[in-house]
Amino acid sequence: MESLRIRVNGKELQVEKGVKLGEVFGILGIQNAVGGKSGSRLIDLLTPLQEDMELTPVFKEDPESLDIMRHTLSHILAQALKELYGYEKVHLGVGPTTEEGFYYDVEVEGHTISSEDLPRIEEKMREIIAKNYPIFRKEVGREEAIKLFSDLKEKYKVEIINRIDEGETISIYGQNGFVDLCRGPHVPFTGMVGEFKLTHVAGAYWMGDSSRPMLQRIYGIAFWDKKDLEERLKFYEEAKKRDHRRIGRELELFLIEDEVGAGLVLWLPKGAILRKTLEDYWKEEHLKRGYQLVYTPHVGNAKLWQTSGHLDYYRPNMFSSMEIEGEEYFVKPMNCPFHIAVYKSKVRSYKELPIKLAELGTVYRYEMSGVLHGLMRVRGFTQDDAHIICAPEQVEEVIQETLEFAIDVLRDFGFEDFKVYISTKPADAIGSPQQWELAEKALKKAVERMGIEYEIDEGGGAFYGPKIDVKIRDAIGRLWQCSTIQFDFNLPERFDMEYVGSDNRRHRPYMIHRAIFGSIERFVGVLLEHYAGLLPLWLSPVQVRVLPVSSEKHLTYAREVEGYLREKGIRVELDARDERLSARIRDAELQKVPYILVIGDKEMEGKHVSVRGKKEGNLGSMAVEAFTNLLLEKIGKKE
């Protein structure tokens, strides 16, 4: 028998080839290990060791251990389904782990699983766990595997086997009469899994291909500790509480209605003022940084979209055409062709570059009905769009400046944590290698210089150019894609864009698309979820609500205060309804108004107001001017 040298935590051990990792740990007196790790590779206790290796044990404290037990839970889920609906009726797809749990894609003949079935399935799973069945692992040959899974009527598994590379080991795992094709890793007994809960069931195409059958995906979450599980469930509840669709209705910000159309947003007065605040800020910041604002139409001639290539490549996402005086027109899905037309309105000199054209351009895109979601995914939205046209030697500086701009803006809205993704040249790219190299280098350099954490999505760029995407982390840790800076080597060619260089010759400029918010709609949605509706003062649709204690005695002075604040540019409302003061306070609190001013006899005497802050609580009485100055200072600081 061949022998192997295994190093665990620095201790070297000589064992026979084929000895299971669990036995190795046993010899070494390592207890409670869930599995082992060699480099980044996870190995479970059931796996026979075939080569010399250095290992560290994985315990429950190690995050990798979750992956192992979640994987086993997905098998237990599969077995539970087989037990409940019949071994030959349940066809298994794939059952991987997720960031917080696991799922299994299955097809159940003659039954569709609904969320009502989940408790029963869970119960069956707990039975399997309680029995503490030993889990086995076996390596099988390709032919043997195909025969085994064909006999089991596991058509999807057979398909997977056929896709496995020659030479790769094919392993099966199972327990108590249940067998699954699986790479592992798993815990050695069904009783070793942690706390779990099945959360929901949804459809999922086999292999993610819409031309293949749709399976049912059963999702579960799982952690070692009940505490962690409950925390995760609380997170879902918290997310639900922050749902911008709910907040939007409660605070009367926006409306999306059947009568108007799916994915089309009506901005109610309070939402409109929020949007205006965002837009005014946006325009000011752009002007400060040398952008030129433009306005372009909502529709454009088909010839334009032909030249841009949208009709060839983007047509499925465009609304149907309309005919005007024998010419075909389309509602715009993008602003770029118009901005290019602005650029081309005259001969451009290198001295003008970079030219930065910006517009809050409302575009319409056909999105499949199933993907529409509140403000986050709509059919009509306003991009905070800009196109930067520059010379090659300006690219680096332009990218740097643009990225800084985006981050500065996002910081102003209270986001501090960013994740940046750079997508590089895909296989089917157009443009010269020099162009790609220059562009990709500029992107990387900009991110590195700013010291932001980033990842590279190798080959993930669009065919027409590489890009940077910025995602922001919200108050409960979720990432939202917002800003994007995207090179375009395609449109300058298609539209024959030029500038005259210092050599008096014509040159092709570089063009960069960029958005900071992404879309106004989506960004407002993200803001609402980030702040759970309690927007910072400078963004609040209503910043102050004035409440006279008595709607008769104090009304005149209350109106005076209201008028004064309004004149100072503060968004103020008077609530002199014939209601108890505490009822009106409650109402203002629920509407998340940052400051409530109570006005009674005492305040009237000294031209004071009694201030109650949403965050600070009762701040006591102060002079109207003092309060106004305090407020204006806070608004100025974007608090």
Partner RNA sequence: GCCGGCGUAGCUCAGCGGCAGAGCGAGGCACUCGUAAUGCCUAGGUCGUGGGUUCAAGUCCCACCGCCGGCUCCA
Kindly list the catalytic residues: 336, 365, 383, 385, 387, 467, 513
Nearer residue to RNA within complex by CB, 190 or 543: 543
What does DSSP assign to residue 570?
-
Give the Cα separation of 56 and 185 in Å (integer): 15
Strand pairing category for 3-8 and 35-38 = unpaired
Under the criterion CB under 7 A, does residue 262 sit at the interface with RNA? Answer: yes
65-73, 545-553, 564-572, 629-637 -> range binding RNA (CB under 7 A): 545-553
Side chain identity at residue 593, one-letter code: V
Query: CB of 481 within 8 A of CB of 406?
Result: no
Q: How far is the CB of 78 from RNA (least distance, A)?
A: 17
* Token code pair at residue 522: 């989506």
Is 252 near RNA (CB under 7 A)?
Answer: no
The sheet that has 53-58: what strands, in order across it? 11-16, 3-8, 53-58, 35-38, 41-44
CB of 169 to RNA, least distance (A): 27
Report if residue 204 touches RNA, rule: CB under 7 A. yes
Residue type, 270: K
Q: State CA 291 to chain mean position distance.
A: 29
| Comparison of 263 and 271: residue with beta carbon closer to RNA | 263
Q: Choose one: 158-166, 514-522, 550-558, 629-637; the region binding RNA (CB under 7 A).
A: 550-558
In the complex, least distance from residue 582 CB atom to RNA, rounded to whole angstroms: 4
- Residue from 18, 203, 297, 563 binding RNA (CB under 7 A): 203
> Would you give the DSSP letter of residue 20?
B
**Nearest CB to RNA, comparing residues 80 and 118:** 118
How far the first Cα of the chain sits from its last, in Å, is 72
Burial (CB count <10 Å: 0-12, 13-18, 19+), residue 279:
middle
For residue 370, state whether it binds RNA (rule: CB under 7 A).
Answer: yes
Nearer to RNA, 61 or 259 (CB): 259
362, burial (CB in 10 Å: exposed 0-12, middle 13-18, buried 19+)? middle
Which of 217, 332, 339, 356 binds RNA (CB under 7 A)? It is 217
CB-based contact 387:511 (threshold 8 Å): yes
Under the binding rule (CB under 7 A), the answer on residue 235 touching RNA is no
> What gap in Å lies between CA 474 and CA 33, rounded to an integer?
35
Residue of 610, 627, 631, 635 that binds RNA (CB under 7 A): 610
128 and 176 in contact (C-beta within 8 Å)? Answer: yes
Sign for the CA dihedral angle at 624, 630, 635, 639 comes to: negative
Rounded to 10 degrees, what is the CA torsion of 402, 407, 408, 409?
A: 90
User: Closest CB to RNA among 93 and 188?
Assistant: 93
Cis peptide preceding 354, ω within 30 of 0: yes
Q: Give least dist CB 368 to RNA, A.
A: 3
212: DSSP letter = S
Beta carbon nearer to RNA, 55 or 201: 201
Q: Figure out which of the listed residues 551, 559, 560, 564 binds RNA, where binding follows CB under 7 A.
A: 551
Residue 623 touching RNA (CB under 7 A): no
Interaction of residue 490 with RNA, rule CB under 7 A = yes
Q: Is 151 in the site for RNA (CB under 7 A)?
A: no
- The only residue of 11, 31, 552, 636 in contact with RNA, by rule CB under 7 A: 552
User: Following DSSP, what letter does each residue of 574-627 receive, concatenated?
Assistant: E---SS-HHHHHHHHHHTT-SEEEEE-HHHHHHTEEEEEETTTEEEEEEEHHHH
Identify which range of 134-142, 295-303, 525-533, 580-588 contacts RNA by CB under 7 A: 580-588
Which of 40, 320, 369, 434 lies at the binding interface for RNA (CB under 7 A)?
Answer: 369
Residue 225 and residue 591: Cα distance in Å, rounded?
38
Q: Is 256 exposed, middle or buried (0-12, 13-18, 19+ CB in 10 A)?
A: buried
| 19, 265, 429, 462: which one binds RNA (CB under 7 A) | 462
One residue of 216, 382, 483, 543 binding RNA per CB under 7 A: 216
Q: Does 580 sit near RNA (CB under 7 A)? A: yes
Of 464, 523, 595, 627, the one binding RNA (CB under 7 A) is: 464
Q: At residue 389, what is the residue type?
A: I
Question: x/- contact string, 306-345, with RNA (CB under 7 A)?
Answer: --xxx-xxx-------------------------------
When binding is defined by CB under 7 A, the residue of 61, 166, 168, 578 that contacts RNA is 578
List of residues contacting RNA (CB under 7 A): 112, 114-115, 200-205, 208-210, 214, 216-217, 245, 249, 256, 258, 261-263, 308-310, 312-314, 367-374, 462-464, 488, 490-491, 549-553, 578-583, 585-586, 589-590, 596, 598, 600-603, 610, 612, 618, 621
